[in-house]
Structure 1
């Protein structure tokens, strides 16, 4: 069968004033109709640049220096810009990573979908409008006719991503390229989007290229997987074969770095040391050699070529059975961090509402119920994970913990003393005890301020210690988080994402706080960098007795760090209990749905997952939450009682509480989830031995 897409020896360069970066170096690949190819690798490995090369949407200075790209037999390299404009959006659809920056904020959704039809098919306004409605229905947007007149800011993240897919599908393309289509989405919406892409590919017989850094995403969706590193393909095979017998140490290292539900929380997460090489001046030999613990002299001298037929890999010393011995490092086990410890922070009947105004006269039209009656206790030295979809109120709860938001009602007790309504002056003194790790460390650091000044700022504002003591504290923390002392002279833009997150962590610890609220601290990081940051967080917690409130939609991250887990839905706490109990015996349908949506890096498990129990639809508006149980419109267990009677938190086992009328039924049905968890937590196939221990944990 003829291939839909054929790429041969593709070289893409970014030519700058003083240097040339070879972002894609000799990539060869093919894709058939109806096939899904997963392209994985760390940030900067060239996977997105390969996708952009296909549609010739390269950044300033970007050129295709060599190679061939053929779409259905037509050569695209050397094609005129007019011809490429005709192909983009017609034969090739592209789903970008961030829909909010890709959609026009001044145009309605319907106009933006219809635009592609008007340009490529010369469709009339009526025909384009009808097609826009059809593709919105195709991507399963509820009340599609109403959404046509909405603007991007009026839609949720998952809805915006569906709109991006609808735009890409408007002209029934032959090839669809999805670049990190689910990175910033909740696990529930991620599962829906991936399922939708899979269904559309089969229905329309398209070729699909799925670009991602998450091996769990491609495990259940891709027919073949191509692993890229430093601009090159290092391994390529059918999905089942690659996951069953990974041959390149880099592929194994990526796989080993993924925290998974059921993993031993007292062991150090494997991670890949160092960073990918500078592609403006790449090293000789194998580009992964500097980070590979099995590299030998030949690896530094000779560049391995991609060899093999069905399963290709570029390595002089591929992984084999002789070197698959498991080596992991364990910490002292903490069976219960709350044992013998006093409460640090107590939240009692905490409520936060935001008034909503409309019209020229700013008339109040309602309130957003962000947090509704939360009761929660944080103990010294423990980690409590707060999980839930975007919009459930978890970030608002975290901001109230550190005093950045004042509650509408309720109490916040710090060591038994209510601080909810303290004055700004009093809160400034108290705030040194609470610190916040932001989701985006780059946005939270002043780009004009050197790192040294940013680290010293909190202690100078609080007048803590002498200048010499402040600097000593700064350099100690740089050592603790694994950064060199010369980092103090650099600016935020000179660091990688993982390094910036370490800077943010060091800044949070400068005042020696008792509580650190970490709001999605690793959501934007590659899997290996994520493991390094999580190892640092766990190690410093053990050393300084820190209390963490970990806010995340990534349950695998929460499962590694958290001692207890609180599950939030539409401002309410619907389940609370020990992490092991929550993952083994979820008693709320929402918790169970979250767990079933987590992608597991195992093709067999992913493809055997039943759709029953998965959460459908999107979060209702917090402006007018449903009556009774707020989850009942999306709940497979819902009854008439759920629509009228609001369930209260009740104990189902020791330390485990749930707010659900049908908790006993849910507990009886969790055997299927338990089976998946057991498979997922089986001892890893000795992959840990391929990754050097995190340097900070030695």
Structure 2
């Protein structure tokens, strides 16, 4: 078996090398391989991505590089080398010094990785003391310098802070500083930016890239976001159910994939013109096989549109297609020659607001204010915003974490109470908490949450979860309730066999489908979707988005669709509102919002979106100013974005609320910059003719 050779100098020791590695989970009943014969090499200073669906073995390989047997996984054959050291020969103090000294990891969730009971300074001191033997003032100085390296300001305060006192972006930067404190030669990022909004993600990746260039650190980036792979990495390995199926340069694999699985993953991503072409997203049919029932031949064959009898007879070799480019497919050359994408089914109509005939307002929000009390301080999460959502319309809401999106969503469905303003639904005012609202209003407004694991009762079966709204709102007579539950499951492409299962027995995608079925069970008029696909793989995300759109158009339901993923929001929405620090700074159709004139904040968001599509030019926008200048909204009359605006005009931005540049009801842009100047902006995203 061969590997991609990222080592420019053949005499240079690779930062990481897997030599024919097989990793297995040992249980009482079986020994199940989770990674089979993996071979790849990362050169000093190289950034390689490892991509694939959940359960494919990405994190298992990452922990193997740390010498960590994750959840009982063991390397049963092959060899893992870090900087030329076979880690199977290390134990005790030597293995401890390798972790952090030679290789370090930044995991996905900083709140489960940082100790909640220790101050940040204490945690940094421990790493620096272990790997560099520092004490006293040199230790304190090195800790401060480690935080400055990751562009954190107000270092004394952060050193004194506990993790919960920092924002998500600050926590992730602290994790990065902890990882780099030991000056490792290899940095592993295990979905380290998955939970971050696009601008924070872009800043973190730009920061890692700068550190990598300055220190010549190698990076293994584990992700399911192919857009950041194109932006950040030089090479990429695609893994499917424990088999590495393709390795090559980023340009080769993402522009001309040779394996059907790689191509299928790329097809699942919404193109930048999907709101115009009105197409459903291709999906990968079927599911990954059970480890107790693995196919005899190619593992992807049961889901592959190109599969023939040959594919089921033997496991294909990972072979060279061109220098430095390997694929595990007997038809790799044919796949490489065929550049046609999978066919896309049309949507029922175009996603722009023009498809909503004779708009009739269903939801009207007027001067809404939501505040929280933090000790003696009052934090304004939503600051006098107004908008409407029409019948049958999908209204997208985008913005960074902390901009007030979720507070707005929870206020609409009655989970929190507003401090001011008005919410009118179908001519009736929605006041107070949801439990105080009349039953007809409660059943008409439903919500799909980001995390179904925390929004579905783990002690109830799927049948009990879906039966509850039917009983609560007396929608179906007793003898027909089970039939209605089966109908709901079939509407989300699940069968009656799921009725007796508990949430822990379902995958993330299946559980989100149950959550969607529950939201539709009360026959609502409005569904608030709060980040419903942000934690899903691209393949599962495509299926869930298609499902939501089919159900929305079939049932003529209105959606308020909240996300920080502009690709997803653009694909599903008729209109989009852009929020920053509790206020709406721009609103319009996808066709209006993604071309000039932009609000400067929208311009920054578009520049931060990871683009994987071939033939798209993306202009770089360098953020300026102080991002923390207006970290919480206030009642001060000003533009909330002025503290970090690259087009800052001066005192007018700090002293007065920006006016709306448009007069008609569907298009809004709140900015002090003259409209002609905004219209003359260069497009951020632009399709180019190849």
CA distance, structure 1, for counterparts of residue 336 and residue 210 of structure 2: 37
Cα shift at 1:54 = 0.6
Q: Distance in 2 between matches of 1:571 and 1:515?
A: 22
Of residues 337, 354, 379, the one that matches 2:372 is 354
Q: 1:678 aligned to 653, 669, 687, which one?
A: 687
CA distance in 2, matches of 1:628, 1:114: 41
Structural mapping, 1:13-32, within 5 Å = 13-32=24-43
Confirm whether residue 303 of structure 1 aligns to residue 321 of structure 2: no
- What residue is the counterpart of 1:692 in the other structure? none
Q: Cα distance 1:217–1:423, how it changes in 2: closer, same or farther (>3 A)?
A: closer
Structure-to-structure mapping, 1:250-289, within 5 angstroms = 250-264=261-275, 266-289=278-301
- Equivalences for residues 524-539 of structure 1 within 5 A: 524-539=535-550
User: Does the alignment pair 1:55 with 2:66?
Assistant: yes
Q: Partner of 2:5 in structure 1? A: none
Whether 1:400 and 2:411 are equivalent positions in the alignment is: yes
Kindly indicate whether the alpha-carbon contact (under 8 Å) linking 2:399 and 2:580 is maintained by their aligned counterparts in 1. yes
Q: Deviations over 1:230-267 (max 9, x none)?
A: 11110000111222321000000111101133224521
Counterpart among 631, 649, 654 of residue 643 in structure 1: 654
State the alpha-carbon separation in 2 of the partners of residues 185 and 240 from structure 1: 25
TM-score when normalising by structure 2: 0.93
Q: Give 3-state SS (helix, strand or coil) of 2:675's partner.
A: helix
Partner residue of 1:470 out of 481, 487, 497: 481
Per mean C-alpha deviation after superposition, the further-off stretch among 617-626 and 48-57 is: 617-626
Divergent runs of 4+, >6 A = none
Are 1:142 and 2:156 counterparts? no
Q: What is the distance in 2 between the residues matched to 1:187 and 1:586?
A: 21
1:435 matched residue in structure 2 = 446
Q: Contact 2:629 / 2:643 at 8 angstroms: preserved in 1? A: no
Distance 1:37 1:424, change over 3 A: closer
In structure 1, distance between residues paired with 2:665 and 2:440? 38
Q: 1:33 aligns with which of 23, 44, 51?
A: 44
Deviations 1:451-494 (A, max 9, x none): 00000111212222212333232211211110011111100111
Q: Quick check: 1:437–1:519 contact (8 Å CA) kept in 2?
A: yes
The answer to whether the 8 A contact 1:439-1:523 is kept is: yes
Match runs of 1:598-677 below 5 Å: 598-602=609-613, 609-612=619-622, 617=627, 620-622=630-632, 628-638=638-648, 639-651=650-662, 655-662=666-673, 664=675, 667-673=678-684, 676-677=685-686
Shift of 1:501: 0.6
Determine helix, strand or coil for the equivalent of 1:386: strand
CA deviations over 1:206-247 (Å, ceiling 9, x no partner): 111111111111102111111111111100001112223210
Query: Would the aligned equivalents of 2:82 and 2:103 in 1 still touch at CA under 8 Å?
Result: no
Q: Distance in 2 between matches of 1:491 and 1:233?
A: 32
Matched, 1:329 2:345: yes
1:313-462 equivalences under 5 Å are 313-318=327-332, 319-322=335-338, 324=340, 327-334=343-350, 336-357=354-375, 365-421=376-432, 424-462=435-473
Q: Give the whole-Å Cα distance in 2 for the aligned partners of 1:29 and 1:649.
A: 55
Matches of 2:536 and 2:494 in 1, distance apart? Answer: 17
For structure 1, which runs of at least 5 residues remain unmatched after alignment?
358-364, 684-698
Assess if the C-alpha contact under 8 Å between 1:240 and 1:603 holds in 2: no
Deviation string for 1:475-516 (max 9, x for gaps)?
Answer: 112111100111111001111111111000000011000000
Q: 1:525-547: CA deviations, max 9, x gaps?
A: 00010000000001111110010
* Structure 2: unaligned runs, 5 residues or longer: 1-8
| Count of paired positions | 671
Structure 1 counterpart SS, 2:100: coil
Measured in 1, the distance between the counterparts of 2:142 and 2:612 equals 37
How much has 1:323 moved relative to structure 2?
7.2
- Partner Cα separation in structure 1 for residue 235 and residue 628 of structure 2: 31
Normalising to structure 1: TM-score of the pair?
Answer: 0.92
Query: How far apart, CA to CA, are the structure 2 residues paired with 1:678 and 1:56?
Result: 45
Secondary structure of the structure 2 residue equivalent to 1:351: strand
Q: Alpha carbon RMSD of aligned pairs, Å?
A: 2.1
CA distance in 1, matches of 2:52, 2:101: 28
Within the alignment, does 1:196 sit opposite 2:210 as a pair? no
Deviates more, 1:614-623 or 1:6-15: 614-623
- Specify the alignment match of 2:509 in structure 1: 498
Distance in 1, Cα, partners of 2:146 & 2:663: 45
CA contact (8 A) 1:177 1:210 kept: yes
